[in-house]
Chains A and B, each alone.
Chain A
Amino acid sequence: MPEEMKDDILDFDDEFDPLAVDDLDIDQEDMDDDNPLDTVDYPTMRNMPEDMRKEGVYTPERQGGAQEAIKSLMDHNPGRRPILLAIMQMCAGDGMPASKVTEEVNKLQADNLSVYAPMTLCRMLERAGGLTLEMPETHEVEEDIEEGVEYLEIKERIDPIWHTTEDGVAVCEEFSHAPVFHDIVLDRDSAYLEVYRAVMLALDERPRTKREIDDLVDTFEVVKKPRRFGGHFVDMLERADAIEWKGRAWQLTKAGRELLPLTAPEGEE
């Protein structure tokens, strides 16, 4: 290699300081020229408008109403839907202290772990317009004196109360298991009613694994074309709160047992 080239390659810029790069100086057009495939204009965080940074994804403003925002939140978090509904149900009426909500949600998520902490779920519902937070009144601050030293002390811990809004209550009613079951199982998927019934009866007998449900579903001709797998029936029944994942298997819920007679052929109800 000629000496000249070697020098060029090894000629590091002593003045270069990666931390001194100012993202205000970044020229998006230059970046686009460098990589013609990269046509997305990524705003840097610092240039991002303040209101854009803070805006929630599911909010009444964005979805055009609190009920729409709550439903959208649940649609995009199907695994959390039963928990979100349960939170709104438990906080309806007089509301529930945050510590109690945490306790209840932890129980509900024992077999359905989530990366979301209970209060994070509450905050998501709050942003969507499903919950409001009532901060309790605190007493006036009092100063104490001990051994001549004046100090402040926190005498009580606060436990704010979560309340479900009217929109939250309306969504709970709409999403109660019976109407959803009617809509999905008895109406849209009525062609597969016998399959639903078989799955529910099997789960009523004992908890089953996904493999067992798949095997059972595959015994029906109706699922061959168009092809339907066990997962579809699990999804639909879970959406109607008829089944739940507990103890590493699918089980029929109390609501599922109440709904089971609706799947019986005419004359057998």
Chain B
Amino acid sequence: MAEEKQTTGEAEVDLVELMNMRARTYGMLARLFLKEVDEATLRELQGMRFPTATGNDRVDAGYRMLFDYLRLSWDDSVRELAIDYVRTFIGHGVNGYSAAYPFESVYTSERRLMMQEARAEVLATLRENGLKRGNWTEGEDHIALELEFMQRMSMRAAEALKAGDEDKAIEELRTQRTFAHDHLLNWLPMLTADMDKFSQTKFYQGLGTLTMGYVEEDAALLEELLEDVVEDAA
């Protein structure tokens, strides 16, 4: 990463733009998991472009499902999505298996409880990176917060690259790689499988598929970028 532009295979990549794009995607995903889609968000989503051939089948399928839902969306879709959000992430029942619970602790603790080890680890990571939870009042291991963490780190990497501080950018990327492996990739397959099971709209099924595909793809990208750093250093 001697320069902002790096050659990956044949194509020359603008790393600052790449980091900003990653931040935008993580930001969008975080927003969609955080709360129900409101009218303004629906309009914004309908104005998006949906890539069809990203090279990752899950990402393509996820975008396609979102597109198929959104192109037939109208005023009443906000209500339909609000119902599906509750059905998908909150559900009903007391057995711990009645929804796609958006907290890592539920999937990584033996008794499917919230506020377990995963939450403590995420909280520690946020603190290590100088991030506060703001007005968030629930567990920090919520999927929206984990995705937002990736967004913030991508933004920091972009800023560091822009300022010519390569070491800082590499550090941010390493933090992201560790976080993706230790947390996101650790429970996303289970969460997104449950989203597919509990949601009844293509929107939330698509969101699950897209998120799984994107995080996988992004982890591979981070791996590739950091591999180049090691090679450069060698």
Contact = CB atoms under 8 A, between A and B. Distances in A.
7 contacts: A44-B93, A117-B79, A141-B67, A151-B49, A151-B52, A152-B64, A153-B50
A214 B77 CA distance: 45
B interface secondary structure, majority = loop
Interface in B81-134: 92-96, 98, 111-113
Contacts of B50: 151-153
The size bracket of the interface on B is: 20 to 34
Interface in A1-41: 17-23
Interface of A (DSSP majority class): mixed
B67 A19 contact: no
A218 to B, nearest CB: 45
A132 interface: no
A122 B71 CA distance: 21
> 3 closest A-B pairs (Cβ-Cβ)?
A19-B96, A151-B49, A152-B50
A152 B74 contact: no
B51 A119 contact: no
Contacts, number: 76
Contact of B71 (A17, A20, A44, A138): A138
A20 B46 contact: no
A153 B45 CA distance: 10
Interface of A: 17-23, 44-46, 98-99, 102, 117-120, 122-123, 135, 138, 141, 143, 149-154, 157-160
A100 to B, nearest CB: 11
A26 B103 CA distance: 27
Given A154-B70, A158-B73, 14 more contacts: A19-B94, A19-B112, A22-B95, A23-B95, A45-B92, A46-B93, A99-B75, A141-B71, A151-B52, A152-B67, A153-B49, A154-B48, A158-B72, A159-B74
